[in-house]
Chain A
């Protein structure tokens, strides 16, 4: 017995919040399509509840036998805009209700895939799905939605960007929680296990298990031991820690896939924070040597962190995928909230950080009076960063009706709480009203 290694593992789990953040089962719904939406919904319900029947049970078994917490058990499905397009329904609320019902019966935490991919334009179902979003987000509990508005290969669909600003605004008027379940992407990935942006891509196998690991607390703790050392040592320490964290994800994914009889897809190498003390990405950046997250040097520290996590994780698992990088949500990270409250972190700095990290402007509360066009313009900026840099970017902003800068909004649970952040008050309306398509960048033409 190698007692030191056993102690290290126990310490990571018990004291440093090491966990497997999610086991997500991807399920294709392409074989459920029917021009009669009732028939399609019946097939969808049956397929999901059959394929994922044992998902939660197997997750619990693994937690008990291996003593590693698995925080979420989730399902992702084929984008519903594709599945529902054959029907003549005026909206797709019925499909969302079906997903919600299946998720509740199975006891999973979320189901993702109420999604549309519109980076180049709308097919029959896309606009209907998008316009169903305010009702779906307000009246279902577990359904997560995403819309991909841009990609490096095809450019940015500015009509969709304009539409999404309005939709986010409308959704916020129904419930302040609605937009926590909606992500607007550029370069969305097809095997993402993380919510709210998970969907099961059409190029994927029929059913697949994807795993998302976490462990900001473990990384921070490892860095506490190398105070004052050079950045090379910081990078090496993060790599070694990420390796161990990822091995845990690989093991859990392999076992889950065997027990469920479903192929193992990918491990998503992400550092996903929670509001718990010591489970913060911001605090890793501060441990690297920043007095407060958001100050000068934050982007450089985050770039190093993001890259080192990938380098460490990539050797530790058979297939890497999903978003794979550090998440920087504001409300879900105690250190980010502190940064905002102290005045050190603002939206402009967060936007810069998204150029070098995994996703984008995530879980950011903004004043309820923010115009739809300003929200669209925030989406356009993020999409531009993603498009030009060949990476995934996303926007999950939360206009909070009746609240303004300096006030706080409580989401509860893993979603935490957020200070309402200031946005630039100068108008972007005339640009957003132009619509059209921002052409794909020159470096996308690689063939």
Chain B
């Protein structure tokens, strides 16, 4: 399944490294990435591919919450369809 992972928070050293290291460990592939700094806030969006059979979405969300706390940012993962649904017919 495709999902969008968003990371938002105060910029500091090691955010990209922390997130991508976590994803690599979970064998989650990053297929696209976009990152900017808006008003001093680090904003990163990643499109990722999650293998359904291996991953429990609830556990993944919780682990990303915890990782976010360690890195001082907010990390959310949502299935891609919600973004498509809202903006196109």
Contact = CB atoms under 8 A, between A and B. Distances in A.
Interface of A: 1-3, 5-10, 61, 64-68, 244, 247-248, 250-251, 315-316
19 contacts: A1-B32, A1-B47, A5-B83, A5-B86, A6-B83, A8-B87, A9-B86, A10-B8, A10-B76, A61-B57, A64-B58, A64-B61, A66-B81, A67-B77, A67-B78, A68-B78, A248-B86, A251-B81, A251-B86
Given A1-B45, A247-B87, A248-B85, 10 more contacts: A3-B34, A3-B45, A9-B82, A9-B83, A61-B57, A65-B57, A65-B78, A65-B79, A247-B85, A247-B86
Contacts of A6: 4, 6, 45, 83
Contacts of B86: 5, 9, 244, 247-248, 251
A242 to B, nearest CB: 12
A66 B34 contact: no
Contacts of B79: 65-66
Contacts of B45: 1, 3, 6
Contacts of A68: 78, 82
A67 B32 contact: no
The 5 closest A-B pairs by CB, nearest first: A67-B78, A251-B85, A66-B82, A5-B87, A247-B86
Contacts of A247: 85-87
Nearest to B76: A67
Contacts of B34: 1, 3
A171 to B, nearest CB: 41
A253 to B, nearest CB: 11
Contacts of B6: 6, 10
A244 B32 CA distance: 25
B76 A64 contact: no
B87 A2 contact: yes
A67 B75 CA distance: 11
A429 B43 CA distance: 65
A9 B87 CA distance: 9
A1 B35 CA distance: 11
Given A1-B34, A1-B47, A6-B4, A244 B87 contact: yes
A197 B33 CA distance: 47
A251 B82 CA distance: 7
Nearest to A12: B86
B41 to A, nearest CB: 11
Contacts of A248: 82, 85-86
B18 to A, nearest CB: 20
Interface string B3-45: 0101010000000000000000000000010100000000101
Interface in B36-89: 43, 45, 47, 57-58, 61, 76-79, 81-83, 85-87, 89
Nearest to B36: A3
A66 B78 contact: yes
A6 B33 CA distance: 13
B45 to A, nearest CB: 5
Q: Which of B34, B57, B85 counts the most chain A CB atoms within 10 A?
A: B85
A5 B6 CA distance: 13
Contacts of B81: 66, 251
